[in-house]
Structure 1
Amino acid sequence: MFNKKIGLILVLALAAGLGLLAAQKFFGPATPATVWPPTQTVPLFPQARPLPPFSLRQSDGTQLTDGELKGHWTLVFLGFTFCPDVCPTTLAELAQAQAQWKDLPDSTRPRVLFVSVDPERDTPTRIGEYAHAFHPDTMAATADVPALENFAKSLGFVFMKVPGDGFEQNPNDYSMDHSSAIGVLDPQGRLAGLIRPPFQPKAIAADMRALTEASTQ
């Protein structure tokens, strides 16, 4: 079991790297670099890259499109509500960061977007309740699998369904392996960087505050 899990992690890591290369090749040329202030733990790419058009369904039933992510720095995390460890831990750490930038104006305050890659079990209502239990400002969305695959690929992320031992008798006996990094989108909705675990909530909050203040000057 241990070797199998390690193998899956290695496959995900390799696929994530290949996904990012594919995103760079197929989703448009890099845009001119913007000079941002130095960051502690949020590494930014030399050049941000636009995302291809996408459409996700938010927890309130409305559509989330690429244009709606503009105007704010946004941290994007893939997961699922039945996740036993990585997802709740990451959302709790992001909630700590959110608490530290809550004094910023709502019009420019950084946002956190949780995207469920388990649409079979995660309804919009369920993901909303799940995400808001960590922080009321956290956005939650999902979509059908093809749309999720395209969105994940544009971020250089991957996910896969992993059947459990009793899957043949119980179709709900499965888990979802997924990338554990956090995508960083700039106020133009472009992929500007990736934050890889382990996460440091205080440093993330300080970086996002600095980036937000710089983008509004």
Structure 2
Amino acid sequence: MSRRIAPLLLVVALAAGLGAWLSQRAHAPDEPAAPALPATRAVTLLPTPRTLPAFSLQQAGGAALTAETLKGHWTVVFLGFTHCPDVCPTTLAQLAGAQKQWAALPEASRPRVLFVSADPERDTPQIVADYAHAFHPDTLAATAPIPQLEAFARSLSLVFMKAPGASGDPNDYSIDHSAALVLLDPQARMAGVAQPPFDMKGIAADLETLTKSAR
């Protein structure tokens, strides 16, 4: 990711997230207070989980990934692309360490990682799956056409944009994208965020605690 673009992406994402949350609160009917969650040390939890608009991403083999796919587990969502030279492989390797820490938890409630490619021109669902599974076999992986990806990313206060390379070749490009991790709760609602640099041991411990508290 371009160092010049990264701060702008972060500002845009944070502003979009705050605006969406405030809008939702202003127009939502009175709701019962959500059950109190345990304190976290590396993850910032939203005051109220945010329900996401309906979405459908594509997994390898043609299976759709929807909110129903994610329910029942805490999920860490990471947006990237397989040609990413640094941020994506580094983050997925760190997340693989967290997944090893969660291995002792029951499979039915164990936290999961979802890697979503923002580069569908080069990343087919199968390529995304092969890439993600090289870091950890349990990682969920998906992509979608650009309009669906933009809507999904926007709902999570994430952004991405194509960045042409210096050669002028249309195939020479990168993808500037938010580097944050987004947490979805077991109802597949946006419930929290973690910003780099990551305290991955703290994130892993937070997800383990949140999972145990939901039993």
TM-score by length of 2: 0.93
What's the offset of the Cα at 1:215?
0.6
User: What is the match of residue 116 of structure 1?
Assistant: 117
What's 2:62 paired with?
A: 61
Q: How much has 1:183 moved relative to structure 2?
A: 0.3
Deviation by residue 1:48-87 (Cα, 9 ceiling, x = unmatched): 1100100000123200111221100000000000000000
Distance 2:176 2:24 in 1: 25
Partners in 2 of 1:84 and 1:135 — Cα distance? 18
Answer yes or no: is the 8 Å Cα contact 1:23–1:153 preserved in 2: no
Give distance in 2, aligned partners of 1:7 and 1:108.
40
Partner of 2:167: 166
Kindly provide the amino acid, as one letter, of the partner of residue 82 in structure 1: H
Deviates more, 1:81-90 or 1:202-211: 202-211
Which of the residues 15, 18, 37 maps onto 2:15? 18
> What amino acid maps onto 1:201 in structure 2?
M
SS at match of 1:38: coil
Segments of 5+ residues of structure 2 without an aligned counterpart are none
Match of 2:211 in 1: 212
TM-superposition CA deviations, 1:4-45 (whole Å, max 9, x none) = x44412321221023213432269749633311111111111
Unaligned 5+ runs, structure 1? none
SS at match of 2:41: coil
1:150 match: secondary structure: helix
| Counterpart amino acid of residue 82 in structure 2 | T
**Percent same amino acid among aligned pairs?**
56
- TM-score scaled by length of structure 1: 0.92
Structure-2 change in CA distance of 1:207 and 1:120 (3 Å): same
Stretches of 4+ moved more than 2 A in 1?
A: 21-34
Give the Cα separation in 1 of the matches to 2:34 and 2:209.
18
Secondary structure in 2 aligned to 1:180? Answer: coil
Q: What residue in structure 2 maps to residue 139 of structure 1?
A: 140
Amino acid at match of 1:64: L
The 1:102/1:163 distance shift into structure 2, 3 A limit, reads same
Across the two proteins, how many residue pairs are aligned to each other? 210
CA RMSD of aligned residues (A): 1.6
- Could you say which residue in structure 2 is the equivalent of 1:81? 82
Whether 1:43 aligns to 2:44 is yes
